[in-house]
Amino acid sequence: MEQQVQIGAELPSIAKAPNEVSLFLFSAATWNSHRIHYDREYAHAEGHKDIVVHGSLQANWLVEAMLSWAPGALLRSFSFRNVAPAFVGESFTAGGHVTDVRPGTGAVDVTIDLRVEGPSGITTVGRGVLRFPGTADGTVPEGLDP
């Protein structure tokens, strides 16, 4: 069974609630020593209301949302931009929707506009292109369920 990917299709949102430990560990794993990501007093001194969630962590959430929607697809391109600060202790959702489907020879490229949203609105936006094996009419195999 095959299915056609539709422009406008929404990706299921994934929920994230970063805490102090997860932000500290992400800082360590990425060698990011900027204290706004793990030191509350320093973040306040820099003018932030609390510890700041890494922009690159939010980018990871966007990629996770795409790849969990389409396991087995190839990530062809990805870009993101932080548009507002995000803070520890807040709840976020990452998701997006299909904006373009381009069938080619033996493959279908699907463009997805992405967003991370928190209690104060959108904090990060992005765009990704996934490649599925497929047909010229835009259908993809069932095993790659988008």
* Segment 8-66, tens digit of pLDDT: 999 999 999 999 999 999 999 999 999 999 999 999 999 999 999 999 999 999 999 99
**Which pLDDT belongs to residue 4?**
76
Which of 55, 51, 63, 49 has its CA nearest to residue 84? 55
pTM for the model stands at 0.88
CA–CA gap between residue 7 and residue 25 (Å, rounded):
37
Domain boundaries, the chain: 2-18+55-141
Q: Hey, what CATH class is 2-18+55-141 in?
A: alpha beta
pLDDT tens for 124-143 read 999 999 998 865 555 555 55
